[in-house]
């Protein structure tokens, strides 16, 4: 019997994004654009290699050694951004406050385990995945307006181990598994 493999990461949970993500979900309903589930607004700051679902506690133990040294910080998200792609554009909200703390935390996390993020790191809160690029183009203007109408703030005093199954999708199947508090 083979074990289900999961994509694991360390995320900052942003529950305050629920309203915006619910509005995005209403806008994208049945459009070929996959919204981030409003219950799982987050910033991914570290991407671990594929592992068994049972490996989350081991990853959390490694992360705890870093988290205990961290001070809480203020986070602010605002401004539309996107990763342009001919096959799957991604719309997101940017980080306007707390970026230095996130960058420092990410640097430390990358030293405690293998990071598998394939691109340059841009901290962001994902709004949508344009599974159908033409459908994404049709609602892009409305996404820009929604993003402009929201400014989200949060007090960050922990990170979460979160993941989704290999055959899943981060917008639909992400699960928060274990909270790892900061020590500061």
Three-state DSSP class for residue 164: strand
Report the alpha-carbon distance of residue 154 to residue 139 in Å, rounded: 28
Report the alpha-carbon distance of residue 128 to residue 130 in Å, rounded: 6
Which domains are assigned to the chain?
A: 5-181 (3.90.1140.10)
SS (H, E, C) 127-171: EEECCCHHHHHHHHHHHHHHHHCCCEEEEECEEEEEEEECCCCHH
Q: What's the whole-number mean pLDDT along residues 7-36? A: 92
Structure tokens at 41: 């607004």
Per-residue model confidence (pLDDT) at position 2? 52
Per-residue model confidence (pLDDT) at position 160? 95
Most confident of 12-16, 48-52, 60-64, 129-133: 12-16
**Residues 90-142: pLDDT tens digits?**
999 999 999 999 999 999 998 887 777 667 789 999 999 998 999 999 999 99
Per-residue model confidence (pLDDT) at position 107? 93
């Amino acid at each position: 019997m083979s074990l289900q493999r999961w994509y694991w990461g360390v995320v900052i949970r942003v529950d305050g994004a629920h309203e915006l993500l619910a509005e995005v979900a209403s806008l994208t309903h049945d459009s070929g654009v996959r919204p981030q589930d409003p219950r799982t607004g987050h910033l991914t700051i570290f991407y671990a290699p594929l592992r068994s679902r049972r490996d989350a506690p081991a990853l959390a133990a490694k992360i705890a050694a870093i988290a205990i040294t961290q001070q809480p910080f203020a986070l602010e998200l605002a401004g539309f951004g996107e990763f342009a792609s001919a096959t799957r554009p991604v719309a997101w909200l940017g980080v306007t406050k707390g970026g230095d703390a996130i960058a420092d935390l990410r640097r430390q996390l990358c030293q405690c385990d293998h990071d598998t993020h394939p691109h340059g790191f841009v901290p962001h809160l994902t709004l949508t995945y344009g599974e159908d690029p033409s459908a994404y183009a049709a609602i892009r203007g409305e996404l820009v307006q929604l993003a402009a109408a929201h400014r989200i703030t949060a007090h960050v005093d922990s990170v979460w181990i979160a993941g989704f199954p290999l055959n899943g999708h981060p917008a639909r199947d992400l699960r928060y598994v274990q909270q790892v508090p900061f020590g500061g």
